Amino acid sequence: MILYIITLFVGLQGSYRISSKIECVVIGFLGTFLVNILRISSVFVVGYFFGELPVLVYHNYIGTIMIIIWLLLFWWFSYAYVLTPKERENTTNKTLINTNK
């Protein structure tokens, strides 16, 4: 969860719509929650069937890799499909004066 929060500060910098930022935070939170549930469950399964040393290795290495892969996929998806940039106002059209009378 800490890695997710850190990536939010970095990933949501920029000029994006507030609604798309909120969608991104919700998708990321739910996905991170589900990946953590899967990670914790799989640690118990590995510990039950294989013992103490394999569960330590699995937890420390494979669990961390699972979270990093999730965050990479999440940010790819967010930038590709969720986050929409704010529309810039065209100020040059507002300042033009119609001289053709």
Give tens-digit pLDDT for 79-100: 999 999 988 645 454 555 555 5
pTM: 0.78
Q: Which residues contact 60 (CB under 8 A, 6 or more apart)?
A: none
Instruction: Indicate the length of the chain as a whole number.
Output: 101
CA gap 7, 48 in Å, rounded: 33
* Amino acid letter, 69: I
pLDDT (mean) for 61-74:
95
pLDDT of residue 89: 45
* CA angle, residues 75, 21, 66, in degrees to nearest 5: 25
